[in-house]
Amino acid sequence: MSTTLITNIGELTTNVEQGGDPCGTLRDAAVLIADGRVAWVGRAADAPSAARVAQAHAGARDSPESGASVRVSTVGAEQMTTVDAAGRAVIPGFVDSHTHLVFGGDRADEFEARMSGTPYAAGGIRRTVAATRAASDDELRARLAGFVAEMAAQGTTTFEVKTGYGLTVADEERAARIAAEVTDEVTFLGAHVVPAEHADDRETYVDLVCGEMLDAVAPHAKWIDVFCERGAFTADESRRVLEAGAARGLGLRVHGNQLGHGEGVTLAVAAGAASVDHCTYLDDADVAALAASDTVATLLPGVEFSTRQPYPDARRLIDAGVTVALASDCNPGSSFTSSMPLMVALAVREMGMTPAEAVWASTAGGARALRRDDVGVIAPGARADLVLLDAPTRVHLAYRPGVPLVHTVWRGGEIL
């Protein structure tokens, strides 16, 4: 078994709450990784003795993989790699709990029109549906691989992928199957919009989503989602979709309250959904319902950046005791970015979050939205997903927006 000690960490964000600090911040810290898991976390001076022996007897060399100072030695039958963080900050890998990465085509013209004053509407999704249906499996797979590499380079180590741009049985099944090649967090979103061929027969399409389409996609999926919004699906239609997914053993997610006040949050909380995403327009009852539930409010600031809608009021939610996550909503129509560092910066600048809250929401919060406890934290037993920043503190993610601050990324203890 190989082990890695990351030491001389100037600021370590563990997300293990201590002393009133949800980020569990440690200074002058170290992390020991063994067999892809976090084995130990603490002060660098207290690192396990085997690691200190490895440091003492190894010769230093530059690592071509990470660019950090690395020492390699053998202690018994175990190889110990030591990475000197040189006072940099380390955070958990980002957990992006809301993406739409399997699609064809491009909608840059819509973005340009919005920047000239045209309002965003859900109907543009049908353009991507047409392009996705026309794309081959290999074309979709190659594009998805590009997005996955793009996300990894920016520190994302766990991500969800939705279907929703096929909207036929065959196209939704292939989207889920292709997504499952790169993530365990696949969401069936057949209820994204009603496709053009069913525009005059909504009930038949909802029947299809709840029946044959769900049957085809469920073997590849972990979650089911529905866009409960004007221009998409009503609350009654959305409830049917969620009930059908739950009956097949899928976890529940909801797109809600994006374009105006609606029933998405109420529906999500009543159904016990893991997450309700967007939450741009909330009344006091919505906030109270979220605060009294374990449904995560997943905020998607990339959408507001791209559509010029009002940003969600994260401060209001956090102060009310709601669990908040941040995600990219990477998609071609309303948020064509995969950058979780950008989400952190936007949340701090536009949504009333502190840098610590934004980093927590984009790591531990995303994990909560996926009901995961093995990612989004740096704690013994967790998967060793870590991001070494080329900065002394996590604050720099918001302080230096747009600057590539991700120095090294580990996923499952391996450098990406």
Binding residues for N-formimidoyl-L-glutamate: 165, 331, 333
- Name the strand (E) or helix (H) holding 28: strand 26-34
Write out the binding residues for 4-imidazolone-5-propanoate: 107, 165, 192, 258, 334
Write out the binding residues for Zn(2+): 98, 100, 255, 329
Write out the binding residues for Fe(3+): 98, 100, 255, 329
Question: Do residues 384 and 33 make contact, with C-beta atoms less than 8 angstroms apart?
Answer: yes
CA neighbor of 323 nearest in space, from 354, 299, 355: 299
Torsion, Cα 354 356 359 363, to 10 degrees, reads: -130
Residue 131: is it exposed, middle or buried by C-beta count within 10 angstroms (0-12/13-18/19+)?
middle
CA neighbor of 346 nearest in space, from 402, 405, 293, 273: 402
CA separation (Å) from 88 to 34, 160, 202, 339, 382? 21, 29, 54, 21, 21
Write out the binding residues: 98, 100, 107, 165, 192, 255, 258, 329, 331, 333-334
- How far apart CA 5 and CA 52 sit, in angstroms, is 9
Instruction: Quote the crossing angle between the two packed helices 137-153 and 169-179, to the nearest 10°.
Output: 40
* Structure tokens that stand for 75 in this block: 């202690």
Question: Do residues 311 and 318 make contact, with C-beta atoms less than 8 angstroms apart?
Answer: no
Instruction: Quote the crossing angle between the two packed helices 284-291 and 264-271, to the nearest 10°.
Output: 20
3-state secondary structure of 349: helix
- How far apart CA 186 and CA 29 sit, in angstroms, is 35
